[in-house]
Amino acid sequence: MTDSPLSVPPQRIPLHVAIIMDGNGRWALQRGLPRLAGHKAGTENLRRVIRSTVEFGIPYLTIYAFSTENWGRPTEEVQGLMRILEDVIDRELNELHKEGVQLRHIGRLERLAPRLQQKVLEAVELTKNNQRLVLNIAFNYGGRDEIVQAVQKIIRDGVPAEDVTDERIGQYLYTAGVPDPDLIIRTSGELRVSNFLIWQAAYSEWYITPTFWPDFDKNEYRRALETFAQRDRRYGGVSDVVADKAGQ
């Protein structure tokens, strides 16, 4: 089957897409499988989505893989998710590196097993000069935790109150230097932010689909991008069309 092309003008391709990969558990449940089978299928899908992201020419992708709240899940599931991250690094790192993907981790490393921490750091180090796609993996990530840490560091650095600006806070977040996400995709239909990029998402556009993450395919990704391209981003102002009319 040949792919239909993406009908989006280049200037309407988002610079940064962020994805809340949700619905693995329900995907598995629907098939009478254990939840971890859903997470494995989700990981397979991630590989395809990364590839499509490169193909679509999107330079930044952030994926939400494990939240600071996900520690509250049954131990077996938490351990399974840790194992999956380790497997992904073991199995995919060389390929991702070859494809020019720069891996970054956003979130807290401390609570992960030392061996896993080591692998994450090595993956980041190995790929740090790659330019084709910056892939932020949000693992043990929480938006509030990120802001709390930023504030603590700002105070420790002795930044004077009047210098605590929007930009300055941005420089203290994990995403320093990365443009804010233009488009956030959430699969599985939930209408909430679940502590993801709460600072950076101030003016992101949302695309929410009932599709469970393992089934979110290239066609649907393309649809998300085409929908995004139609959006009128006003940032609190008025749309260009309205502004032009007003000025006439």
Active-site residue list: 22, 70
Contacts (CB under 6 A) with ligand IPE, residues 77-106: 81
Interaction of residue 136 with ligand IPE, rule CB under 6 A? no
Interaction of residue 36 with ligand IPE, rule CB under 6 A? no
Q: Which is nearer to ligand IPE, 14 or 42 (CB)?
A: 42
CB of 70 to Mg ion, least distance (A): 9
Over the chain, what HEC string results?
CCCCCCCCCHHHCCCEEEEECCCHHHHHHHCCCCHHHHHHHHHHHHHHHHHHHHHHCCCEEEEEEEECCHHHCCHHHHHHHHHHHHHHHHHHHHHHHHCCEEEEEECCCCCCCHHHHHHHHHHHHHHCCCCCEEEEEEEEECHHHHHHHHHHHHHHCCCCHHHCCHHHHHHCCCCCCCCCCCEEEECCCCCCCCCCCCCHHHHCEEEECCCCHHHCCHHHHHHHHHHHHHCCCCCCCCCHHHHHHHHC
CB of 221 to Mg ion, least distance (A): 19
Interaction of residue 130 with ligand IPE, rule CB under 6 A? no
Among 13, 17, 18, 25, binds ligand IPE (CB under 6 A): 25
Applying CB under 6 A, the span of 14-22, 90-98, 155-163, 225-233 interacting with ligand IPE comes to 14-22
Instruction: List interacting residues with ligand IPE (CB under 6 A).
Output: 20-26, 64-67, 70, 81, 188, 190, 192, 194
